[in-house]
Chains A and B, each alone.
Chain A
């Protein structure tokens, strides 16, 4: 079983729609990161959230860290085809020394 569960696994929407993807765990994280990965490339960091309840905005993307630091969400407003990709959440568990990833949400935005 994955330490971090991401949902949905796949998401296909039309350009202009809004969407939310989720990242959940039973573990507490010191921080949680969201990455976007395109085929054949390494993951690219989008944001890091550290404080429980924290909300960060990156243009049309809004990231939220749960109050208990066990979960996070990514909301995209007015999705564009350029948002297509694999969205990965990753967290470093408190008192651990490595970053663990979810399986990802594969987003396709159709023109």
Chain B
């Protein structure tokens, strides 16, 4: 049973560019959440997707957008990248919208130069 998988694992982008990160949830999970974790910090909630809709959003600008597909996989898009967007982006899945157990992927390391 595959856990949460994310791609790519590492990438480098230039300021102003756009990036798309991908996530496949754990089998049987229908809810996907995205987090940004800066070096030395705890994960910060970006948003959550359920039934292909954004259900909850943290304090992130509109440059951060996402999508969930019918197979529950998800994408995180960030436009007009800033140096401060450099971070580990974590995807987490759970079997219901308000799950008390969420499982994380290994993350995607984004470096903006």
> How many contacting A-B pairs (Cβ < 8 A)?
63
User: Which A residues touch B103, using CB under 8 A?
Assistant: 45
Q: How far is the CA of A42 from the CA of B37 in the complex (A)?
A: 10
B98 touches A92 (CB 8 A): yes
Interface assignment of A68: CB less than 8 Å from any CB of chain B: no
- In the complex, the chain A residue whose C-beta lies closest to that of B45 is A98
A-chain residues with CB within 8 Å of residue B99 when the two chains form the complex: 92
Q: Are A42's CB and B105's CB within 8 A? A: yes
B side interface size, CB within 8 A:
28
Contact B45 A103 (CB under 8 A): no
- A33 on the B face (CB < 8 A): yes
8 A Cβ contacts from A74-111 to B: 88, 90, 92, 96-104, 106
Interface size class of A (residues with CB under 8 A): 20 to 34
Write out the residue numbers on chain A whose beta carbons fall within 8 Å of the beta carbon of B4: 42
Q: Nearest CB to that of A106 among chain B residues?
A: B40
**Which listed residue, A2, A90, A97, touches B98 by the CB 8 Å rule?**
A97
Q: Mark B47-68, 1 if CB is under 8 A from A, else 0.
A: 0101000011010000000000
Point out the residue from A33, A43, A97, A101 that lies within 8 Å of B56, measured CB to CB: A97
Interface residues, chain B, CB within 8 Å of chain A?
4, 33, 35, 40-45, 48, 50, 55-56, 58, 90, 92, 97-107, 109
